[in-house]
Each structure stands twice: as C-alpha cells, then as structure tokens.
Amino acid sequence: MATPPASDDTLITLNIQHQRAHASLLVSSDITLQELCQHHLPTLDSTRGLDPGRTLFDGDALHELGLGAREAAYPVVLLASAVSEIQKDEAAAQLNLRREEARQAALKKPAKIRDTSSGYYAPTPEDRFRFDRTALLPGLPFQDRRQELLHRLATHPSVRKQMAKFKLAVGLLGELHPWTHPQLLGVNQNAGQSIHLRLLTDDLKSVRPFTMVRRVLSHELAHNVFGPHDNQFKELDSSIHKGMLAYDESVKTSSYRLGGELDAHYEPETADLAGHCSTSPSLSSQHPNTQVAQTVGAPGLDQARNLNPRLAAAEAAMKRAAPKK
C-alpha cells in the first residue's frame, strides 16, 4: 500500500481558471479541498478538481493529490456554479415542489361541481301571469297552422308583457268551434278560467291573421277584470291593445326586414268587438254536441246542428258585416 506523503507546510501556487476568470493563490499544500473552497474561494459554493482516474474527497489535502512541490505552479480548472445561479435553481426547484404538492392535494380532494339545474329560480312576472295550457279542437282543417297560431298567441312577447303588466292569468287558451257559435270571435269563461278564440276564417279555407286574432285576445283579456262593456272595460281593453302595438313598433324600429313592412294591424273598435265576444260562465266545451248557453242573436242549438258548416260561417260573416241599426 502506498504511503501518502507526510504533512508539511509547503507553499504552492495554484493558477485557477473559472470560466473566463483567472486567479492565482498561494496556499499551503497541507490544506484540504474543503478548506480551499470555504476559505480561499469564498465566492464559489463548491469546486471539483479534475484528476483523471482518481476520486477526490473534501478531506483530501493538496499534498495528498500530488500538489506538494515547493515553489511549483499548478494549473487548476474549476467546474463550479455562481451563488446567484444556485439560488435561482433552488427557487425553481421549490416552486416545482409547491406545484406538485398542490396537484397531489387536488387529486386527493377533487373539486365539487355545483349543480345549478335544481337550484332556486325566482319566477318573473311573465312566469306568473300567463296561459297555463293551450288546446286545439280535433277534426278541423289546418291543424299545424292552427297549432302554430295558438302557440304564437300564448307565447308572443307583446301578449306576455301586457299580461304581466295588468296581472292577467288564464288557465286555458283554446279554440272556438267554427260553426257552433259562428257569430262569436272570442269567449272569456269565468274571468280567465279559459279563453276561446276563432282561428279559422269564415269560409274555412285558411286561418285568421295573427294580428286579427290577437286583437280579439286583447279584448278577452280585459274581461278578466271587467265583465260589462262599460267605460272601465273599454279603457283597459284599449290600454292592453295599445301596449301590444307599442311592442310591435319597438321591434319594427329596431330591426330591418326584407320583403316589406310588418303585417298590417287589425284594429277594430271596441264597440265592433262587443257584439262578437262573450263572457259566458258556462261555456266549457266547443264540440258541436255540447250544450252551451244561448247568446242573443244566435241560432238555436238544433238549428246550429243542422246548418251546413260553410253556410253557417258565411251567414255569420254577413251578420257581422251588416250595418248596425
């Protein structure tokens, strides 16, 4: 076994190169690598000497590495990192560690997704004052178009806004039979229990225009509050109708249309509608075989059953068009 050189106090010169910096140190050959790094190279955290085929330890003295000749100059290349670089690396490592800890914690306690589908929903006035349901009569022509018209009447913003404004609620929005009561355009039963409207034209060849039926609907909605056609009723009827028209105008002025203007408004006077609307308290069905209350000026029940449907509708139209005496 080779005996390491004895300890002495020989001074040696180290010509140190670190990156682009050069320095010379005069040190004792008896100091260790650790002492060299801590006391003579205080600006560097660590150093590592290159000696092919050998392993260096912090406790090795310089003379044990063969650096012991008096007045000899030894070239040394330092592979080291600056303090600022090490601090930067340590900060990055700490940041990555905290991120990983947060990720592991999130995996252990997954975030709860709040279910808002069944949460409390505050109803708006338009939700409270509306038509609860709609219904068509079976066995009549233009079922799809009648259904579309009835749905549009029940959901149109111009109608819904006025119902909310005047606090008008209706249980059922339905359809008048075209030949059971040919002289009527609309019926309000029990102040809003149901409203029935005439959807087919007099000749039964089409459905009535939306604005025409809506005008009758505005009249019938006023019967939710007032029964007789007195001044209070007429004022409310007019207010509801004007509110619907105002909505139409707001839509018209804020949009552009291709193919012409909006549909012309059907605006009969309230007095004209009064003779063709009813507030019957007992009209519960619009089937031809159902007994209904008689209306002044209407044909008898047996007569209505025997009339030809188209003939009955034509006669009703002529009666409505006849000048009042």
> Tens of pLDDT along 65-91?
666 565 556 666 666 666 677 788 888
Helix (H) or strand (E) holding 272: helix 270-274
Q: Which two tokens stand for residue 100?
A: 């990983």
> Is residue 229 over pLDDT 80?
yes
Q: Give the amino acid at 53.
A: G
Interior angle at CA 118, CA 114 and CA 122, nearest 5: 110
Band of pLDDT at residue 42, cut at 50, 70 and 90 = low
CA-CA distance, 320 to 314, in Å (whole number)? 10
Q: Which residue in 162, 279, 293 sits closest to 228, CA to CA? A: 279
> Tens of pLDDT along 148-160?
999 999 999 999 9
Share of the chain residues as helix, strand and coil, in percent rounded to the nearest 5: 40, 15, 50
Query: 23 φ, ψ to 5°?
Result: -155, 155
Band of pLDDT at residue 240, cut at 50, 70 and 90 = very high
Q: Which residue in 63, 85, 58 sits closest to 74, CA to CA? A: 63
CATH of domain 11-81: 3.10.20.90
CA-CA distance, 246 to 243, in Å (whole number)? 5
Q: In what order do the strands lie in the sheet with 131-134?
A: 131-134, 170-175, 194-197, 186-189, 277-278
CA-CA distance, 46 to 53, in Å (whole number)? 21
> Tens of pLDDT along 110-122?
656 555 554 455 6
> Is residue 290 over pLDDT 90?
no
Return mean pLDDT, the chain: 73
Most confident stretch, 50-54, 168-172, 181-185, 305-309? 168-172
Q: Name the percent of the chain lying above pLDDT 70.
A: 55
Q: Which two tokens stand for residue 48?
A: 């590592």
46 Cβ neighbours under 8 A, 6+ residues apart: 37, 80, 81
> Is residue 298 over pLDDT 80?
no
Q: Which residue in 93, 64, 90, 44 sits closest to 3, CA to CA? A: 64
317: left (phi over 0), alpha (psi -120 to 50) or beta: alpha
Q: For position 303, what pLDDT does the model report?
A: 41
User: Where exactly are the structural domains of the chain?
Assistant: 11-81, 125-252+263-321
Q: For position 200, what pLDDT does the model report?
A: 94
Q: Which two tokens stand for residue 58?
A: 């912090």
Interior angle at CA 189, CA 183 and CA 193, nearest 5: 145
Q: Which carries the bigger pLDDT value, residue 304 or residue 32?
A: 32
Q: For position 182, what pLDDT does the model report?
A: 81
CA-CA distance, 12 to 30, in Å (whole number)? 10
